[in-house]
Amino acid sequence: FVGSSTLERHSLGEDDLAPSRPLHKRMTATKLLRPLDAASTSDMKAVAQAVLNAHIDGTQTLVIVNTVDRAKATFDVINKQKKRAGKEHTQTLLVHSRFRPAERAARNAQLQDSSLAADRIVVATQVVEAGVDLSARTLITELAPWASVVQRIGRCNRTGNDGPGQVFWIDLGEKQAPPYATGDLDFAREQLLKLDGRDVSPQSLSEFKTAEQITLPFEHKHVLRRRDLLDLFDTAPDLSGN
C-alpha cells in the first residue's frame, strides 16, 4: 500500500532456491567474466575480430554496444570478416532503435525465435537490456552503468541451458562514455575489475552486491502532475491535428 509506514518486503527464500526448484537452474547458471582483449574504435574492426574469435560454433553470441553507430560498424565488419574466420555459415542480426516500426517488429520476432539462434551473432544496443527473453552462450558488452551491466549479463546463459556461459566486457575511455555519465562508468568498471575471472550468475551477483554493500543512488528530479497523468490517456486531437 503506497504511503504505508509499514511496507512489507518480499524476497526469495531458501525454499525458492532449492535445487529441486526450477528457479535454481537459472539463479546458478554459470558464466565467467573476463575483459575483452580489444578496444572500441570508430571502425570497430578489433572488436569485430574478437567477437568472431569468441563465438562458439553452434551457439548464440550477443554483442551489446552503447551507440547505434558502433553497432552498425561492428555488424558490417563481422559480415565482411566471418568467411575469412571460417564462420561463413554463422547467421548475423542487427538490432537497434532506429529501425522503422515494421522492420523493428520483424527483427524482434527473429531475435526471439529460438530456431534461428542455433549458430548466430546478434549485434545490438541497449534495446535488448529489458523486455526480451534472449539467452546467449557468449555475451560481449561495452562498459555501461552498473544496473545496465547486470541486465546485460542476465542475457548470458539466461535459462541455464546454454552454459557454461562466457561474458566479456569492453572498457571505454572518457570520450566514448556518452550517452552515459563518466562517473557511472567508473563505478561499474570498479565492480567489474573486482569480479574478474569470477562467476557472475544471478546468485553470485546477488551475493556480491550484499558483500560489497552496493546501493545505487536515485534522485527524484521530476514530479508527475495531474495534467501529465491525464495526458497519457487523452486521445483528443490538438490544434495541429495530432
Q: What is the pLDDT of residue 35?
A: 97
CB 168 within 8 A of CB 139: yes
Q: What is the pLDDT of residue 216?
A: 77
Question: What is the block-wise mean pLDDT of the chain (242 residues), using blocks of 10 residues?
Answer: 65 81 89 96 96 95 97 97 92 92 87 86 92 90 96 93 93 94 95 96 93 82 86 82 74
Bin 229: left if φ > 0, else alpha if -120 < ψ < 50, else beta: alpha
Q: What is the pLDDT of residue 1?
A: 45
pTM for this predicted structure: 0.84
Distance of alpha carbon 242 from its chain centroid, rounded? 35
Q: Distance between CA atoms of 165 and 156, rounded to whole angstroms?
A: 6
Q: What is the pLDDT of residue 12?
A: 77
